Structure 1
Amino acid sequence: MLPDPDVTVVVVARDDPRRLARAVRSALEQSLPGVEVVIVGEAGGGPAARAVPRLVAGASDRVRAFALPERSGGDGRARNLGLRYARGRYVMFLDGGDTLDPHACKTMVTAAAQAGADLVAGRCVRVSRDGERTRFPRLHQERRLHCGILDAPELLDDAVAAGKCYRRAFLDREGLRFLDRLRHADLLFTARAYAAAKAIVVVPDRAYNRFAGPGPLPCTDLGDFADRLEILRRTGAMLRARGAEPLARRVEARFVGRVLPRCLRELRCREPGHREAFVELARSYLAELDETLVEEAGRIPAIAALMVLEGRADAAMAAADYAPRGAGKPVLAIEPVERDGRVYWPGAHLSTPLGRRVLDITDLGIATAPLGALRLGGRVTRMCRAGRALRVSGTVVNPLGRIGPGTELGGVLEIRDRHREGRVFEVPATVRLRDGEITWEAVFVPETAIRPTGLADRSWGLWLRLDAGASTVEVRLTSDGTAHRGLVLPVRPRLTRLAGDRLEAYVAETGELALRIAAGGWPARAALPALRRAARSRLGGAAGGRTGREDPAGDPVSGPPARPAVR
């Protein structure tokens, strides 16, 4: 056994034995010699647990393994068990699917020793099929020493326990442990560590590689979201108990300004009942916060939060659509209202001063921008089979009635490959204006219009290109969950029916209504999973396998592609 190790790396065993072996190997191959590994697995075993004895046997003097007596429901209990058996002067946490940089332990132990620090935060890099991205890059531009979290409250934004090095004597002195049975427990643990630390060092060096994997729950999972809110409540209470009101407000403001909009963007792929339950959970938490946090969150997040407080899932999701992820174009998925020459996001809060300030969107230019510059929201209200054909119809937002009587209307239903930008099939659509409402309809035979190969192009988004007079407007189509439920159509991919034999309708994580290739009967059910695993292996081998972030349908999220120039 390694005498007096400098660092204990606590590794939580996941289900994939190869990823676990990679994580343990990254800890054992550190340039700092005095590193031991403590592996903690869930009760009941699993593929990863069965691989642990082999990992221990390969380095028995430096690796020890322990198993929880019962399923924990989160990582908190596993990490606490690892802390109990840690012998190192410093402790780091490593998830079973991630890796440490070869010099992570040496860099952070040296920094801690030189500064007498209780906590060292290293740079965490997210690795995916699309490349590498540093998390919170502004926090790690240079080496910094802080005499407590009040010197650098922005560190609370990076509240995951991984990628940091903790002095074990400090953890024991402060009684710092993880909560059991609550997911996101590391957010509270790290906030408590930041609040208690007398000296904190931030280093620009790469320390932790977080690999995007197949396992994380979507942020709209009700149990996961309820746990997150409980952790936020406890974090705010802990910080206020320490007299750190500004830090508590920062944590709460980050939820309103960043976390909630991200969750609302993903909420469209859920059923109506799930959406209502999610909004009620969020509403109960927002109602506990100071209302000034809402106004300070930024224009669109503030609107989203107010709509949640009203219990208006549709209007809240529409606000999130107007603040898309990355460089996406805003989608106007709700019809604004005009009052006394001002344009507002509709809502009951127009009767209050706060509501009128937050919901005033006059300066967004919706009333004055060229119609073709807007991306509108459309709703599919009916999808049904007509033999082998698919009949699709719906409505389109008409902002402030800008598309009026006498406007010449036309349209094309675009069927976009969600994985290869620019590959689009077009179907003529009939568009009408009745009493100010824009309606449309299209009929097509999917296996004739699309003819997919079945692997690289297994998911297709539905968009409408609306011609209104001299303007052409792009319309993102979605569904509330009722129009497309249970819809199944036959299809024959060019790779034969081994690559799938049916098309199913679903709402993707990006909010667009889509069709995906699935396996309904034998032999497709037997062959398709193996074919897709082989395709993923070829595409993602360099990043360690399946690394693309996925939506609930099992399709890598690419986001809605820009309108292609070539068809």
Structure 2
Amino acid sequence: MLPDPDVTVVVVARGGPRGLARAVRSALEQSLPGVEVVIVDEAGGAPGARATARLVAGARDRVRAFALQERSGGDGRARNLGLRYARGRYVMFLDAGDTLDPHACKTMVTAAAQAGADLVAGRSVRVSRDGERTAYPHLYRERRLHPSIGDAPHLLDDAMAADKCYRRAFLEREDLRFAGRLRHADLLFTAAAYAAARPIAVVPDRVHNRCDTTTGGRGDVPGTDLGDFADRLEIHRRTGALLRARGSEALARRVEARFAGEVLPRLLRELRGREPGHRDAFVELARGYLAELDETLLADAGRIPAIAALMVLEGDTAAAMAAADYAPRGAGRPVLAIEPVERDGRVYWPGAHLGTALGRRVLDITDLGIGTAPLGALRLGGEVTRVCRAGRALRVSGTVANPLGRLGPGTDLDGVLEIRDRHRDGRAFAVPATVRALDGKITWEAVFVPDAVIRPTGLADRTWGLWLRLRAGGSTVEVRLTSDGTAHRGLVLPVRPRLTRAAGDRLEAYVAETGELALRVAAAGWPARAALPALRRAGRSRLRPAARGRTGPPGDRPGDPASGPPARPAVR
């Protein structure tokens, strides 16, 4: 057994054995020699137990393993068990599949020793096939030492526990442990640690890699899962209560404003992929939490997120999701998926919630210029309302938002339905669409034979988004198409990839995380079911070297998926 280790790295064993081996190997290969690993198996069964046993046998003096007898939902109980058996002067946490930078432990321990810090925070990098992206780059631009969290409240933006190093004596003195049986326990744990730590050191060095490319990963649950979301809300409640109990009202409000301003809009965007009943249940959970907060908090959340939060409070799911669409992630353009109303010369988000002073103040969007901006400057929201088959042909129809009735019956309207490659600029298949304006409503319809029109290669271009390019008079308007969860249910189209049917034989419909209705290449019959997984693995292996060489964040590079679909793709 390693005598008096400097650092104990607690690794939660979850997912496939390869991810666990990567994490443990990154801890054992640290440039700081005195590092031990404590593996906690989250009741992973026989494969997990065998993988853990091999790792322990390979480094008996530096690796110990313990197991929970039942799954706990989150990582809290597993990490607490690891803390119980940690012997290092400092403790770090790591999930299976993620890795530590080779000098992470040395960097953190040196910073803690030089400053006498209870807690050291370093830079985490998200690694995927699309490149590398630093999490919360604004926090890690330079080396800093803060007397307390009150001097650097922005550190609470990074709630991860894995990119931080804790003095074990500090954790024991403050009796700091993770909430058991709740997901998202990192937020509460790091808030409690920050609130108690004196002082806090920040280093700009890369210390942690969160690896999205790992196969057999960490088993994440979608954020819009109702159980997961209920856990998140409970953690937020406890975090606010803890910070207020320590006399930190401003810090509690910062955490709550960040939920309303960043977390809730992101989850509302992802909610478009859910069934209508699930959406309403999600909004009702969020409504219960927001109702507990001070309504003045909306001013701290940001302009459009405040509208989304108010619509949640009003129980208006459609208007809340539309507000989230107008606050896109990254460099994406806002999507206007609702029809604002005009009252007494002012323009408001929806017209149904103007009965209070708060509603009129928050929902006033006159200064956004929706009524005066050129039509071509707007990106509208549209919906696919009906999909039906007629032999080999597919008939698709839907509606388009008509802000302030600007697309009137006198407007010359036509359009093109575009099926766009979601990951590469300038690739789209085009189908003529018929567009009509009647009683202020804009409808459209397109008829085409899918396997004659859509011809992906089937490997790098696996997902395709549906957009409408609307020509209104002398303007061209982009319309992002979505679905309420019923129109596209069970929609499966035949496809003939250019790499033959071994690369896939069908297209399945789904709503992407960006809200657009999309199609993905899948396999149902022979030989696609046998060949497609191997072809995709080969494609990923060719992409990884290029991804490692790209360091700019998604959304900053032309053609990056995070930046949304291209503005004007070339149609062929």
- Shorter-chain TM-score: what band? over 0.9
Distance 1:436 1:228 in 2: 41
Identify the residue that residue 420 of structure 1 maps to in structure 2: 424
Structure 2: how far apart are the matches of 1:333 and 1:413? 18
Does 2:184 align with 1:179?
Answer: no
Q: Deviations over 1:238-277 (max 9, x none)?
A: 1111111111111100000000011111111111111111
Q: Distance in 2 between matches of 1:531 and 1:217?
A: 27
2:351 is equivalent to residue 340 of structure 1: no
Mapping of 1:31-430 within 5 angstroms? 31-45=31-45, 47-213=47-213, 215-430=219-434
Aligned AA (1:143): R
Does 1:533 find its partner at 2:547?
Answer: no
Task: Report the Cα distance in structure 1 between the residues aligned to 2:117 and 2:497, rounded to whole angstroms.
Answer: 60
Contact 1:378–1:477 (CA<8 Å) still a contact in 2? yes
Q: Would the alpha carbon gap of residues 286 and 539 (structure 1) be closer, same or farther in structure 2, given more than 3 Å must change?
A: same
The alpha-carbon deviation at position 507 of structure 1 amounts to 1.3
Which has the higher mean CA deviation after the structures are superposed, 359-368 or 204-213? 204-213
Asked if structure 2 preserves the Cα contact closer than 8 Å seen for 1:388 and 1:490, the reply is no
What per-residue deviation string (whole Å, max 9, x for no partner) do you get for residues 352-405 of structure 1? 111111111111110001111111111111111111111001111111011112
1:35-62 Cα offsets, whole Å, 9 max, x none, are 1111111224254432222212221111
TM-score (norm 1): 0.95
CA distance in 1 between counterparts of 2:108 and 2:423 reads: 40
Distance 2:46 2:545 in 1: 24
Shift of 1:341: 0.5
Tell me the distance in 2 between the aligned counterparts of 1:221 and 1:239.
27
Moved more, 76-85 or 134-143: 134-143
Q: Tell me the CA shift for residue 150 of structure 1.
A: 1.1
Deviation at residue 541 of structure 1 after TM alignment:
5.9
TM-score (norm 2): 0.94
Offset at residue 347 of structure 1 (A): 4.6
Picking from 554, 564, 567, the partner of 1:562 is 567
2:301 partner SS: coil
CA–CA distance in structure 2, aligned partners of residues 513 and 542 of structure 1: 29
CA distance in 1, matches of 2:78, 2:198: 27
1:447 is aligned to 2:473: no
1:189 aligned partner, one-letter code: F
Give 1:516 shift.
Answer: 2.0
Total equivalences in the alignment: 558
For 1:383 and 1:452, the matched residues in 2 are separated by 21
In the alignment, is the contact (CA less than 8 A) between 1:282 and 1:308 conserved in 2?
yes
Amino acid across the alignment from 1:292: T
AA in 1 matched with 2:566: P
1:74 and 1:46 mapped to 2: Cα distance?
20
TM alignment of 1:433-512, pairs within 5 A: 433-512=437-516
2: distance between equivalents of 1:500 and 1:565?
25
Answer whether contact 1:42 1:49 (CA < 8 A) is retained. Answer: no
Q: Does the residue aligned with 2:331 lie in a helix, a strand or coil?
A: coil
Q: Which moved more, 1:365-374 or 1:142-151?
A: 142-151
Aligned to 2:557: none
Aligned to 1:17: 17
Question: Do the aligned residues in 2 keep the contact of 1:8 with 1:88 (CA within 8 Å)?
Answer: yes
Cα distance between partner residues in 1 of 2:137 and 2:54: 37
Distance (whole Å) between structure 1 residues aligned to residue 366 and residue 185 of structure 2: 41
Pair 344,456 (structure 1): closer, same or farther in 2 beyond 3 Å: same
Query: Alignment partner of 2:353: what SS?
Result: helix
Partner residue, 2:558: none
The structure-2 alpha-carbon separation of the partners of 1:495 and 1:325, relative to structure 1 and needing over 3 Å to count, comes to: same
**Conserved? CA contact 2:417–2:467, under 8 Å:** yes
> How much has 1:566 moved relative to structure 2?
5.7
Following the alignment from structure 1 to structure 2, what is the Cα–Cα distance between the partners of residues 494 and 57?
49
CA distance in structure 2 between the partners assigned to 1:186 and 1:280 by the alignment: 24
- How far residue 529 of structure 1 moved from its aligned partner, in angstroms, is 2.8
Q: Which moved more, 1:529-538 or 1:254-263?
A: 529-538
Q: CA deviation at 1:542?
A: 6.6
Q: Give the Cα–Cα distance (whole angstroms) in 2 for the partners of residues 82 and 491 of structure 1.
A: 50
Contact 2:417 2:430 in 1 (8 A): yes
Q: Is the CA contact 2:330–2:562 (under 8 Å) kept in the aligned structure 1?
A: no
Quick one: which amino acid aligns to residue 568 of structure 2?
Answer: R
Letter in 2 for 1:491: V
Deviates more, 1:43-52 or 1:54-63: 43-52
What amino acid is aligned across from residue 71 of structure 1 in structure 2?
A: R
Instruction: Tell whether the 8 Å contact from 1:124 to 1:207 is kept in structure 2 after alignment.
Output: yes
Deviation readout 1:114-157 (Å, 9 max, x if unpaired): 22211111111222222222212221222222222111111111
Contact 2:331 2:564 in 1 (8 A): no
Separation in 2, partners of 1:284, 1:347: 23
Distance 2:129 2:157 in 1: 25
SS of the residue 1:350 aligns to: coil
Superposition deviation, residue 218 in structure 1: 2.2
* 8 A contact 1:419–1:558 mirrored in 2: no
Give aligned-pair identity as a percent: 84
Q: Distance in 1 between matches of 2:523 and 2:169?
A: 55
Cα distance in structure 2, aligned partners of 1:458 and 1:6 = 47
- The answer to whether the 8 Å contact 2:341/2:351 transfers is no
The CA distance in 2 between the partners of 1:559 and 1:38, in whole Å, is 41
Residue type of the alignment partner of 1:454: G
Evaluate the alpha carbon distance shift between residue 288 and residue 268 of structure 1 in structure 2; reply closer, same or farther with a 3 A threshold: same
Q: What is the rounded CA distance, in whole Å, between the counterparts of 2:539 and 2:220 in structure 1?
A: 22
The DSSP-based 3-state class of the residue aligned with 2:71 is coil
Structure 2: distance between partners of 1:44 and 1:198: 38
Q: 1:466 & 1:562 partners in 2: Cα distance?
A: 13
Task: Return the letter of the residue paired with 1:119.
Answer: L
Distance 1:297 1:558 in 2: 23
What letter matches 1:187 in structure 2? Answer: L
Cα contact 1:120–1:201 (8 A) shared by 2: yes
Flag as ranges the 4+ runs of structure 1 deviating above 4 A. Answer: 541-544
Unaligned runs of 5+ in 2: 555-560
CA distance in 2, matches of 1:119, 1:561: 43
CA shift in 2, pair 1:218/1:541, >3 Å: farther
